[in-house]
Amino acid sequence: MSTDSILSVEHLTKKFTIVAGRKGLAGAIRNLFNPVKREITAVNDITFSVKEGEIVGFLGPNGAGKSTTIKMLTGILTPTSGSASVNGLIPYQQPRKNARNIGVVFGQRSRLWWNLPVQDSFEYTKALYQIPENVFRENLRYFSDDFGVDEILTKPVRTLSLGQKMRAEIAMAMLHNPRILYLDEPTIGLDVVGKNELHQLIQRINADRGVTIVLVTHDVLDIERLCRRVMIIDKGSLIWHGEIEDLKRAKGVEKHYHVLYENPCTPIELPFLKVAQADGQRHHYICTEDVPLDDILPRILETGRVVDFTVTDPPLDQVMRRIYTE
Amino acid sequence: MKQLWDYLKVSCKIELENQLIFRSNFFVSILFVIIRVVMLLALWSALYQGKTQVEGISLATMKCYTIVSIVFELFIACKVENSITEKVKDGSISMMLTRPASYPVTLFIEHLAGTFQAVVVWVVPYLLVIFLCGFAKGAQLYLGPWFWLSAAGAYLLMFFYQFFFGMIAFWTQEINGFLQARDAVMLVFSGSMVPLWFFPGRLFSIAQYLPFQAMYSTPLSIMIGKIAGADIRTALLVQAGWILGFGFLAQFCWRKSRRRMIVNGG
């Protein structure tokens, strides 16, 4: 464990005993008297650490164990084995102390009072966390000036759009100046514009406040926009972690080259290069191996006069699909 | 302490606002309460059939018992059990556990704020109606310290009782069927609808061994003088026993439930 990490997790494991139901009515009746119990491992021996001020992504398909991990880090669940340390505290042993250091936003659950204006929920948070008046005012001003939170303060929560609601949720989670902010599926259900606004908000508060952000999502777009480092969880295990660039290089070696020639010419032939399209001036090659551009570019250039040339990385979702199906 | 006080204040404000937000609902509910009072009073008048006393209780006192029992029901009404089971069912219990206050304390504040709301919204207009109509005329009431002590005890008992049953939801996830059956038993044995002294011998004995009479019957009987003298002390001791019992059970279940919690949905 390095000294500058604000959050570290070692061999974290969580097992649940669930009642595995039998099918049909007869099964349901038998379940009443003789339930079949089964142990499932939701999180299996996960080890990682997060540096202060980082935005780290937690990626994985539905039911992979991301949220269970976050619930242990926020002190909601107690791990079966292993340990976690958040800002020097053990969250599941000191949940109330831990709560003062963290902000939590669950995209699917609201902390706001549904029928009341947003400011009532803020006042409630202020009392609950004993936020000093000056800190409260300052934070309110910060979110009002830059993110238009003042416009929605007096509106009942049920009249807000999903994007406005998420902004209010995040602002509320930041009112007590937490060191770590957990965002669990914050962009769920948002449209492109809403997602974009939320991405900007998250980037800004990370830069301005230096708050460490743990972003849990199944949306690769969130990760691509916001995080440099990502952890991929599948079936309870941490199957990959590191920088996104490395991930693409390691797992998605497919690169696309689009070339536009001045005049029609014949496509180049290389063993590691697939020709996807070559009708006259427009050529599209797919490279399926990790080959330096230096080996390809000269051949492209000597074929004819190049008007335009683009290289595209594999999109992250394609990389993810490959990882999950492996 | 300051945290709890601030927290209580803002909770009261929010509870009250939540209640007043839908006007039509508010007025219809008050109307409903008034109809209930009028009906019950008419019922008791009919049952007394012109007799001045039944079982040593005059009609005026009986009417008073009815009115106060409805007011008292509003006063000690507790939404804690419902609040816990709903949150366990939809998984929002997780949000409650990331707060810098302990969940049992949060629940008690919720209970107090609910009472504040009920007192302001219901009890006050309600008592007003009652006094304007002069229903309580000729009744002999005791509203001394013993009554208030037993009322406070009933209030506390109601909280721990509901807290305990709410905790069961952590184990079973769904207890609605059980709770409905229990509430039906409670309606009869608490004495809030029909006073316990009208019960035949065996039913009366059963009622004595259940916690429900300590919630309603004890304070109400003290108020109308049905329990007096040394009996008051016995009744209060029984009540205290129930409070300790449920308080201990609730706390025990809460400790246990933290370890085996499962959060529904995502």
The answer on pLDDT for B41 being more than 80 is yes
Asked if A116 lies within 8 A of B18 by C-beta distance, the reply is yes
Dist CA B202 CA A252 (whole Å):
79
Same domain, A50 and A132: yes
pLDDT over 90 percentage in chain A: 45
CB A128 within 8 A of CB A173: no
Is B265 within a domain?
no
Residue A142: which of A193, A91, A189, A209 has the closest Cα?
A: A209
Same domain, A186 and A256: no
CB pairs < 8 Å spanning A and B: 79
In the listed set A249, A266, A294, which residue is the last one of a domain according to the structure? Answer: A249
Same domain, A297 and A164: no
Q: What single-letter amino acid sits at B254?
A: W
Q: Are strands A282-287 and A273-279 parallel, antiparallel or unpaired?
A: antiparallel
CB A65 within 8 A of CB A216: no
CB A251 within 8 A of CB A316: no
Nearest CA in chain B to A176: B100
**Which chain B residues are Cβ-neighbours of A184 within 8 angstroms?**
266
Is B264 within a domain?
no
CB-side neighbour CA atoms (13 Å) of B229: 1
CB A115 within 8 A of CB A48: no
Same domain, A232 and A289: no
Dist CA A187 CA A199 (whole Å):
9
Which residue of A31, A40, A77 to mutate against B (max B Cβ within 10 Å)? A77
In Å, how far is A104's CA from the nearest CA of chain B? 8
Put simply, whether A129 touches B (Cβ < 8 Å) is yes
Asked if A78 lies within 8 A of B265 by C-beta distance, the reply is no
For B6, the domain range is: 2-259
Per-residue confidence band for B48, with pLDDT thresholds at 50, 70 and 90: confident
Dist CA A129 CA A123 (whole Å):
10
Residue B7: which of B104, B101, B75 has the closest Cα?
A: B101
Put simply, whether A14 touches B (Cβ < 8 Å) is no
Burial A137-152 (b: 16+ CB within 10 A, else e): eebbebbeeebebeeb
In Å, how far is A125's CA from the nearest CA of chain B? 9
CB A122 within 8 A of CB A80: no
Query: What CATH number should be reported for the domain holding residue A220?
Result: 3.40.50.300
CB B54 within 8 A of CB B48: yes
Nearest CB neighbour to A120, from listed B3, B14, B259: B14
Asked if B263 lies within 8 A of A76 by C-beta distance, the reply is yes
The C-alpha angle with vertex A222 and arms to A220 and A227, in degrees rounded to 5, equals 100
Q: pLDDT value at position B132?
A: 67
Q: What are phi and psi of A114, to 5 degrees?
A: -55, -45
The answer on pLDDT for A274 being more than 90 is no
CB atoms within 10 A of CB B200: 7
Same domain, A11 and A60: yes
Q: What are phi and psi of A66, to 5 degrees?
A: -65, -50
Dist CA B151 CA B140 (whole Å):
18
In the listed set A191, A225, A249, which residue is the last one of a domain according to the structure? Answer: A249
CB A24 within 8 A of CB A198: no
Q: pLDDT value at position B149?
A: 95
CB A222 within 8 A of CB A316: no
Per-residue confidence band for B241, with pLDDT thresholds at 50, 70 and 90: very high
For B129-151, write each residue's pLDDT tens digit: 777 666 666 667 777 899 999 99
| Per-residue CA distances from B263 to A60, A129, A235, A272, A317 (Å) | 19, 24, 18, 50, 29
Put simply, whether A97 touches B (Cβ < 8 Å) is yes
Which residues of B make CB contacts under 8 Å with A?
Answer: 2-3, 6-7, 9-11, 13-14, 17-18, 21, 91-92, 94-95, 97-102, 258-259, 261-263, 265-266
In the listed set A205, A228, A249, which residue is the last one of a domain according to the structure? Answer: A249
Nearest CB neighbour to A67, from listed B9, B100, B266: B266
CB B214 within 8 A of CB B154: yes
DSSP B262: -
DSSP string, B177-208: HHHHHHHHHHHHHTSSSS-GGGS-HHHHHHHH
* N-to-C CA span, chain B: 35
Same domain, A313 and A168: no
Domain count, chain A: 2
CB A47 within 8 A of CB A9: yes
**Which chain B residues are Cβ-neighbours of A188 within 8 angstroms?**
none
The answer on pLDDT for A55 being more than 90 is yes
Lowest mean pLDDT among A80-89, B207-216, B236-245: B207-216
Is B145 within a domain?
yes
Question: Mean pLDDT for chain A?
Answer: 88
**Which chain A residues are Cβ-neighbours of B262 within 8 angstroms?**
16, 18
**Which chain A residues are Cβ-neighbours of B259 within 8 angstroms?**
78
Same domain, A157 and A306: no
In Å, how far is A94's CA from the nearest CA of chain B? 10
**Which chain A residues are Cβ-neighbours of B101 within 8 angstroms?**
96, 128
Do the interacting molecules here have an ipTM over 0.85? no
Query: What CATH number should be reported for the domain holding residue A297?
Result: 3.30.70
Q: pLDDT value at position A1?
A: 45
For A257, the domain range is: 252-325
| Per-residue CA distances from B72 to A5, A162, A196, A235, B188 (Å) | 56, 42, 54, 53, 16
In Å, how far is B96's CA from the nearest CA of chain A? 9
pLDDT over 70 percentage in chain B: 93
Average pLDDT of span A14-40: 80
Dist CA B239 CA B259 (whole Å):
31
pLDDT over 90 percentage in chain B: 26
The answer on pLDDT for A3 being more than 70 is no
The answer on pLDDT for A23 being more than 80 is no
DSSP A153: T
CB B182 within 8 A of CB B204: no
Dist CA B250 CA B256 (whole Å):
10
